[in-house]
Structure 1
Amino acid sequence: MTSMQAIPPIERLKGRENYSTWRFAMTVFLEHEDLWKCIEGTEVDERKLTRAKAKLILCIDPINYSHIQNAGTVKEVWDKLQASFEDSGLTRKVSLLRTMATTRLEKCNSVEDYVNKIITTAHKLSGLGYPVSDEWVGTLLLAGLPEEYRPMIMGIENSGMTITADAIKTKILQDVKDARTGKNSDHQTAFFAKRNKKAINSRL
């Protein structure tokens, strides 16, 4: 039981591709365990320092041990991992922005996968000191939907609904997921079709 409790339920650090999410999860976990001062370098309790280092290393994929084998303290382990995998340069930011702008629902495995990809990418950008506004995240979630969901977007616009990541995420997970699984009611479909026709006629 003791050995199992030593390993938090966090995905092991594989490399640059999951470093930002791993770092966030480890930060929360170490704070919860009252071990964050070990990372800051201000802890003097040797037992806590040993525990923190053990927990940290157990959450790293063995393929990455080469980066930390010469680290003497838990703070050195943390700093070496950050130096190896944190990419805060312009190229990384451009890559993440491109991912957000080009992610499309039809290219994702599921509605949940689509939503998580955009929101996770936004969090990664924030972690690099390049925050994306909540409204932009919500707008990008709508921008990646197929053309068939234009009536839904028009309905959101006409309703005066505030565009936020959470609001649009909820809307997509409810309406879009239902539509893709054939659960949309005939009433809702007719409503969107009628609204779309009205909008088109008003522009003619």
Structure 2
Amino acid sequence: MSVILPYAVSSNFEKLTGRANYDTWKVAIRYHLEDRESYAVCITATENAEKDRKARSALVSSVPSAVIKEIQSCENAKEMWDRLSKLYEDKNPNRFVSLVL
């Protein structure tokens, strides 16, 4: 049985799969949330329950079941956003890129 979320992303939206597509997913979901005037609740804690609900719905619908398990205990969209960022954003200062000429 599938659950339909009212502010879910469309079925052709590329779901987050991990670090490999996190950067492109983050841009796409940001624009989706901005279009629904819900992105601000992901970066700043707010008491706007409707916008928070819209953002949580979009975030949950844009990740696979395994990732939902990682964010299901979050109480608001900002916690979800921060948790996903912590899990998948590559902030390793020791990583470097080598150019082959």
Q: Identify the residue that residue 20 of structure 1 maps to in structure 2.
A: 23
Greater share of residues in helix: 1
Q: Identify the residue that residue 89 of structure 1 maps to in structure 2.
A: 92
2:65 to 62, 67, 70: 62
Separation in 2, partners of 1:52, 1:86: 19
TM-score, normalised with respect to structure 2: 0.80
The alignment-based identity, stated in percent, is 26
Work out whether 1:6 is the aligned partner of 2:20. no
Separation in 2, partners of 1:40, 1:33: 15
In the TM superposition, residue 51 of structure 1 has moved relative to its aligned partner by: 1.2
Change (3 A) 1:90 1:28: same
Decide whether the 8 Å contact of 2:8 with 2:62 is kept in 1. Answer: no
Separation in 1, partners of 2:20, 2:28: 14
Residue-by-residue CA offset, 1:140-175 (whole Å, 9 max, x unaligned): xxx6xxxxxxxxxxxxxxxxxxxxxxxxxxxxxxxx
Q: Identify the residue that residue 74 of structure 1 maps to in structure 2.
A: 77
Separation in 2, partners of 1:83, 1:27: 16
Separation in 1, partners of 2:13, 2:85: 17
Listed as ranges, the gaps of 5+ residues in structure 2 are none
Separation in 2, partners of 1:28, 1:35: 10
Q: Which has the higher contact order (CA 8 A, sep 6+)?
A: 2
Separation in 1, partners of 2:6, 2:78: 23
TM-score, normalised with respect to structure 1: 0.42
RMSD: 2.2
Change (3 A) 1:49 1:3: closer
